[in-house]
Amino acid sequence: MAPKGHFKFDDEGFNDRAPATTNINKALEEKKEKQEKQEKQKKAEKFEKFQQQTQPQPHSPQLNGEKSSQQQQQQSQVLNKKRKREDNDRDGQKRHQVKREDNDREGQRRHQGHSGKELNGKSERLNNNGKGRNGSPVNSSLKAKANALLSKRKDLPIWAHQSEIRQSLAKKNVMLLVGETGSGKSTQVPQFLSTEPWCRPQMVKVAKDGKGPIEDLSVGGCIAITQPRRVAAISLARRVAEEMGTPLGNSSPASTVGYSVRFDNSISRNTKIKFLTEGMLLQEMLRDPWLRQYSAVVVDEIHERGVNVDLVAGFLQKMVSGKNEGRGGIPLKVVVMSATADMEGLLKFFDAGFKQPTAAVNGKGQKAIKKDEEETEWSGISSDDNKASKKAYGTPNGTVSKPGPNTDSKSNALVKKHKNGNPEGDESAPFTEFDPVKFGSPHISVCFIEGRQFPVKIFYTPEPVQDFVDAALHSIFQIHYKEPLPGDILVFLTGQDTVENLEQLVREYASGMSPELPKLLVLPLFAALPQAAQQRVFQPTPPKTRKVILATNIAETSVTVSGVRYVIDCGKVKIKQFRNRLGLDSLLVKPLSKSAAIQRKGRAGREAPGQCYRLYTEKDYLQLAQANTPEILRCDISQAILTMKARGIDDIINFPFLDRPPREALEKALLQLYQLGALQDDGAISEVGLKIAKLPLTPSLGRVLLAAANPDMDCLLEAIDIISALSVENVFLNLTSEEKKEEAETARRDISRREGDHLTLLATVQAYAGENSDRKAWSERHFVSHRAMQAVMDVRKQLRAQTTHLPISADDIVAYDSRTYAVTPERAGLILRCFLKGFSHNTARMMPDGSYKTIIGNQTVAIHPSSGLFGKKVEAIMYNEFVFTNKSYARGVSGVQMDWVGEALA
C-alpha cells in the first residue's frame, strides 16, 4: 500500500526557511565527504593487505604471524576463480558485441541486395576499422556507449522475457503485451524483434496497386513503433539508437534507428526500427495500404485511446486476419502494448477479425453470414457495455472455449498475477481481471511483464484548492526548501498557457532566493515547443541545481525524465469536446481520470523512492472516473472519416472501431466533409478529398490550402504562414497586468491588422521572418513568444516542402520572402475568403443588440478578450475555435462580409 498523507502550504515567506535548509544541506555534504574519506581509507588498507598476502618475499624467512601455505593456496584459488569469472564476462560481452555487429552487417547486406542499391564501398560502407565516410571513427564511441548501457538493459524486467516474446511471435502474428511502468517495453521490444528471421526483407511477386501487372517487390525488413505524441517518438528513438550503438535518423546512412513525426522525418535507407506517431502511420497507409515496408507494427500506449490509435487498430485488425495478398502472403506481425489497458476487450477485438466469415457474396452484394458466426461477431460496443452481456464469449452456444494449442502457460500465470499487481495498493488500478484460459485464442498470444516501480508517498490537500497554479508554485518551493538534493520536480499542468505563467512566476521567486540555496532550472515541456527546447528536459541536471519541469500530459507515458523524485499533480487535464448538434469543437479543462493520476504518480518512482503531491483531496480522487473517455467518442471525427475514405473504406458504419462513435457524430462528420467538397454526392471521396487527406492538416485547414492554391486566389504562401501560426497555442505573450497590456498594444501597432487575428498573425510571421539581425530582441519588443515563433518557422518550412505538388515554385518563395510591403486590403479579402472555404461552419453574424449568434446552430457567442476584434463591431465574424470559460467565446476571430459567408456555404 502506498503511503499517503496530507500537506498544507506554509504562510511564511519563502526565504524564511533558507537557513534551516542550508544547515541540512551542509550536514548532508559533510556526511557524504566523511563517508567518501572512510571508503578511500578502507580501499587503501585492503589493497595494502592484499599486496602483503599475495606477493611472496623470497629473501625473507616466513614469520610466525604470517599465513600458512595452505591458507595461501586457498587465497590463490579464490583469486584465480575471480580472474577467470571476470575474463569470462569480458569474453561474453565481446562475443555479444561481435554477434550483434555481424547481425547488423548481415541485415544491411540483405536489405541492400533486395533493394538493388549497394552502398559505395569506401564512401558510405563502414570498413573493418569502424570508420565512416570521412575516415572518422563513427562507431567506436557509439558502440562503447551501447556496451555501457547493456548492463542497464539487462536489469530491466522485460529482459528475462525476450525469448518468450520472440517465440510467441514466431508462432502467432498478434501479441497483447501488458508491461507495467518501468518494465522497459517501449525500448526493448523493437530491439528483440529486429534480429528475428521473419524481420528480414523478402522478395515477392505481387501487383503493386492490386490491379496492375505482377512485379517483384521487397516486403518487410523494418519495425514500426507508434507513439501517441511526437516528443515520445523522438526521445525513444534517440534512446534506442544509443542502446544499439547506431547513429540516429538521417545523420548517417549506416543508421538503423529513425523516427517520423509531423513535419519531421529522420530516417535512412538502412532504418530497421522506426518510431512514429499514429497519424504518420495512417499517412503511410494512404501511400501503401499493405505496409510492405514493415515486418511488424508495435502499437504502444494504446490505453491513451486517441482517434488515430483507434483507426490504426481497426486497420491492423483487418490486415492481420486477411490473406495478405498485397504482401505476397507474408504476414504482418502486430504487438499491442500498454501499462493500463483492458486486455480482455482488446483480445475480443482482434480475435473478432479472425472470426469474420469468408462466405461467398450473396445476391445483394453483401457477405452471407452464418447464424452462429453472427452471434460471436464483435459489436463495437465498449468493453464496459459488453460485461453486461450474459453470453460467454468464444463459442456460438455460449460455452467457455478452451485455450488455443499455442497458449503459453507462463504468460497465463503472469497475467493472473496482474490482479494483485496493483502498484497503488488501495487505489483502484485501471485494470480488469483477465483470464486468458477463459478467453484463449489460437491466433493471439498474451504476455504480462511486471514493472520496476519504487515506492511513492502520496500527499493530498486537506481542502480543495482554488488556484492550482498558485498551489503548484507554493509546492515547488516547499519541496525545494525542505528536500535535499538530488531530486528534480515534475509538475503536471493543463496547457501551454498555464505552463508559461507558472514558468514566469517560478523564475521571479527563484531570483530572490538566498545564494546559498541550490539553483532552480525551470524547463517547460508541451507539444508546441520546438524540438531542441523539448530535448533540454532530458539533459542531465547541472551540479548544485534542481530541475523543475513544467509539463502538460505529454509527460504521463513513454517519456522518462531522469532524476525526477517529486511529482506535483494539478488534477486537471485539457481535453477536446465536440458538440455534434452545434458543430462546435472546444478545449475544456476537466478533472483527470484515475488511470492518468496513477501514471503521473509513477513518474516519481522510476529511479528511486519518490513523493507525489496531489493538489486535490483524497475524496476528489476517489470520485474520479476510472479511465479517460476515448477521444473518438467526444471529438470531431471528420478527419478520421476522411482518412478511412482515402484508405478505401466506404462502409464506415461497419468498420471495426474499438469503441463505436455515436451515429450522430458519424453523420455530422460526413456532412461536414461533404460541405468541404471532400465527398461526392454518393458519399465516395472526391479528388479534393484525396488531396486534403495527403496533407498533415485537419480537413478544414487542408481545404484552406487548396483554396489558396487556386489561381484565382493565388495566396498559398500567405495561407501557409497563417496556418503555421495557428499550429501553436499562442504566439503572443499572455500578459496579466493592465500596464503591460497597454504597453504591448502600443508595441504591436505595426503588426496589428484591423481585419482581425488571421491577418495579424500573417503580419507577425512576415515581420519575424524578415528580421535578420536579432529575432529574439524583436520578439521581446513586440511581446511575442520567441519560443513559439521558432516552432512556427519550423512548421512553415515543413509545410512549404510538403506542398510542392501545389502550384508553388522556388522563385515564388524567394519573391515572397523578399517582399517588404504589407498585404493590401484587396489581397486580405482574398485570404479571408480562402479561410471561409474551410471554416464556413465557424461563422457568426451580429444581431441588432450587438451580440453575435452562430449561423449554424444559432448559439450566442462572444469575441474572446485576447482577440484584436474584442470590443469592436463587425458585420460577421469567422473564428478558429469555440471555448467555454465563464461564457461562450470565439477565439482566433476575423471580420468577414455576409456575402462571403453565403458564397462559402453555397
Q: Which residue has the cell 599465513?
A: 67
458: three-class secondary structure by DSSP: strand
699, 642 in Cβ contact below 8 A?
Answer: yes
d(CA 568, CA 31): 29
243: three-class secondary structure by DSSP: helix
Cell digits of residue 187: 525500448
Q: pLDDT tens digit string along 94-126? A: 554 545 455 555 444 444 444 443 333 333 333
> Among candidates 304, 315, 105, which has minimal Cα distance to 224?
315
Does the bond joining 486 to the residue before it have cis omega, within 30 degrees of 0? Answer: yes
Q: Virtual CA dihedral for 509, 511, 517, 521, nearest 10 degrees?
A: 90
Task: Using DSSP bridges, classify how beta strands 519-525 and 545-551 pair: parallel, antiparallel or unpaired.
Answer: parallel
State yes or no: pLDDT of 511 exceeds 80: yes
More confident residue, 778 or 127: 778
154-159-163 Cα angle (round to 5): 135
How many residues are present in the chain?
A: 906
Radius of gyration of the chain (CA): 31
Mean local confidence (pLDDT), 527-551:
86
Query: First vs last Cα of the chain: how many Å apart?
Result: 63
pLDDT value, residue 821? 64
pLDDT value, residue 841? 86
State yes or no: pLDDT of 224 exceeds 60: yes
Of 16-25, 76-85, 149-158, 598-607, minimum mean pLDDT range: 16-25
Q: Which residue has the cell 555479444?
A: 96
Q: pLDDT tens digit string along 160-219? A: 898 999 999 998 999 999 887 778 889 999 999 999 999 999 988 887 666 667 888 889
The runs of H, that is alpha helices, within 570-628 are 594-602, 618-622
747: three-class secondary structure by DSSP: helix
Per DSSP, the residues of 840-876 read TTSEEEE-TTS-EEETTT--EEEE-TTSTTTT---SE
State yes or no: pLDDT of 429 exceeds 50: no
pLDDT tier, 378 (very low <50, low <70, confident <90, very high otherwise): very low
548: three-class secondary structure by DSSP: strand
271, 261 in Cβ contact below 8 A?
Answer: no
What is the domain partition of the chain in residue ranges? 68-120+138-342+439-454, 456-629, 695-822, 840-906
Q: pLDDT tens digit string along 723-768? A: 999 988 788 887 777 888 888 888 888 888 999 999 999 999 999 9
303: three-class secondary structure by DSSP: helix
Tell me the β-bridge partners of 522. Answer: 548
The runs of H, that is alpha helices, within 558-637 are 594-602, 618-622
d(CA 548, CA 564): 9
pLDDT value, residue 607? 85
Task: Tell me the torsion sign for CA atoms 407, 409, 414, 418.
Answer: positive
State yes or no: pLDDT of 778 exceeds 80: yes
The runs of H, that is alpha helices, within 116-229 are 138-155, 162-171, 185-194
Distances, alpha carbon 376 to alpha carbons 222, 355, 434, 556, in Å: 35, 8, 19, 36
Distances, alpha carbon 846 to alpha carbons 55, 326, 860, 903, in Å: 98, 55, 10, 18
> Among candidates 812, 843, 841, 838, which has minimal Cα distance to 718?
812
753, 868 in Cβ contact below 8 A?
Answer: yes
Mean local confidence (pLDDT), 862-871:
88
- H or E segment at 81? helix 69-115
Distances, alpha carbon 22 to alpha carbons 473, 479, 484, 545, in Å: 21, 14, 9, 14
pLDDT value, residue 597? 92
Distances, alpha carbon 18 to alpha carbons 32, 54, 506, in Å: 21, 53, 16
Of 35-49, 298-312, 760-774, minimum mean pLDDT range: 35-49
State yes or no: pLDDT of 44 exceeds 70: no
> Among candidates 587, 363, 447, 390, which has minimal Cα distance to 166?
447
841, 863 in Cβ contact below 8 A?
Answer: no
Q: Is 714 left (phi over 0), alpha (psi -120 to 50) or beta?
A: left
Q: Which amino acid appears at position 344 of this protein?
A: E
pLDDT tier, 893 (very low <50, low <70, confident <90, very high otherwise): very high
465: three-class secondary structure by DSSP: coil
pLDDT value, residue 389? 33
pLDDT value, residue 394? 33
Tell me the β-bridge partners of 197. Answer: none
pTM, full prediction: 0.69
Q: pLDDT tens digit string along 801-826? A: 877 777 766 777 777 777 766 788 88
- H or E segment at 759? helix 757-770
Q: How far is CA 443 from the centre of its chain?
A: 29
Q: Which residue has the cell 457495455?
A: 385
Task: Using DSSP bridges, classify how beta strands 273-277 and 222-227 pair: parallel, antiparallel or unpaired.
Answer: parallel
pLDDT value, residue 77? 55
Same fold, 68-120+138-342+439-454 and 456-629: yes
Cell digits of residue 580: 455534434
pLDDT value, residue 34? 64
State yes or no: pLDDT of 395 exceeds 90: no
State yes or no: pLDDT of 436 exceeds 70: no
Listed in sequence order, the residues at least 6 apart from 792 whose beta carbon sits closer than 8 Å to its beta carbon are 724, 725, 727, 728, 731, 765, 768
Tell me the β-bridge partners of 274. Answer: 224, 258
Q: The domain at 68-120+138-342+439-454 falls in which architecture?
A: 3-Layer(aba) Sandwich (3.40)
Q: Residues of 546-572 as b/e, b for ≥16 C-beta within 10 angstroms?
A: bbbbbbbbbbbbbbbbebbbbbbbbbb
Out of 3.30.200.20, 3.40.1190.10, 1.10.150.120, 3.40.50.300, the CATH code matching 456-629 is 3.40.50.300
d(CA 832, CA 852): 19
Tell me the β-bridge partners of 299. Answer: 226, 336
> Among candidates 564, 553, 637, 551, which has minimal Cα distance to 591?
553
pLDDT value, residue 427? 53
In the Cβ-directed half-sphere of 456, how many Cα atoms lie within 13 Å?
30
- H or E segment at 739? helix 738-747
Q: pLDDT tens digit string along 647-703? A: 888 888 888 888 888 888 888 889 889 989 999 988 899 999 999 998 888 899 999
236, 561 in Cβ contact below 8 A?
Answer: no
> Among candidates 675, 573, 556, which has minimal Cα distance to 631?
573
Mean local confidence (pLDDT), 229-244:
90
183, 157 in Cβ contact below 8 A?
Answer: yes
> Among candidates 568, 566, 554, 555, which has minimal Cα distance to 469?
568
